[in-house]
Amino acid sequence: MAQCAGTIKNVGRSAIHLGRRYRHGDMAGLRGALIVLEGADRAGKSTQARLLVEALKERGYRAEGLRFPERTTEIGQLIGSYLEKKSDLEDHTIHLLFSANRWEQVPTMKEKLRSGITLVVDRYAFSGVAFTSCKENFDLHWCKQADVGLPKPDLILFLKVNPEVAAARGGFGNERYETNYFQEKVLKRYFELMEDKSLNWKVIDASEKMENVHKNIKDLSEKAIQDAKDQPLGKLWEEDP
């Protein structure tokens, strides 16, 4: 009898568990959302990405964070050494390595999205294009080509921070590109990329208090998860406007 009661209790519990999982995706074959954070250095991308993953998990979603460049892979180590100025690489070459560093993660990303996991990505192809296209003799069109066909983000959060607030957050590090002059050029490129209305860009005022920025990001992300769950995953820049 005791055993029987126990069984009933367990059945009840797993039904609740299944109900919860069903609501948030994977049991019905519903996919997770691909959410990207972009913005200049010191905009708070990494902090907000971490807070977002934690908040989504707390609310019962399956969510994981990733970042580009992913410096731990072999390609990522070449990139890391370039950014730290320990090595020099020809400009097209490093651009293509940044892109390859994304492509090498694509099978894992697709698998996770398919299984219902929402991915929160700290920088993506938009960083790749915004940074390289600031170099002499590079244009946006060429810079986009290597990333055409990557999984298309369901939401791109652009963290916009005014220069005074960014300055108050501390100085730049010593990596390549970490100068005011370069970053200002990068921002202009981001704004050009944001004109592409086939992508779901949202500009976030990241000069506000961390908690307010977080709430804003969390609300937009939950909506994106709901909207994406029964839509096929798109391909980035396949139909170039």
Residue with smaller CB distance to ligand NYM, 89 or 203 = 89
Binding map of ligand NYM across residues 52-81, x = CB under 6 A, - = no contact? ----------------xx------------
Q: Interface with ligand NYM by CB under 6 A: which range of 18-26, 56-64, 110-118, 126-134?
A: 126-134
Question: By Cβ distance, which residue is nearest to ligand NYM?
Answer: 128
Q: How many CA atoms lie within 13 A of 71 on its CB side?
A: 7
Residue with smaller CB distance to ligand NYM, 103 or 177 = 177
- Provide the token pair at 135: 């170099």
Please report whether residue 177 would count as binding ligand NYM according to CB under 6 A. Answer: yes
36 vs 60: CA distance, rounded Å: 20
For residue 95, give the 3-state DSSP assignment. Answer: helix
For residue 30, give the 3-state DSSP assignment. Answer: coil
Q: Interface with ligand NYM by CB under 6 A: which range of 11-19, 122-130, 201-209, 226-234?
A: 122-130
Instruction: Rule CB under 6 A: choose which of 105, 127, 133, 221 binds ligand NYM.
Output: 127
For residue 158, the cross-strand partners are 38, 203
Please report whether residue 82 would count as binding ligand NYM according to CB under 6 A. Answer: no
86 vs 76: CA distance, rounded Å: 14
CA dihedral 191, 193, 198, 200 (to 10 degrees): -60
Residues at the contact surface with ligand NYM, assessed by CB under 6 A: 41, 68-69, 83, 98, 123, 127-128, 131, 177
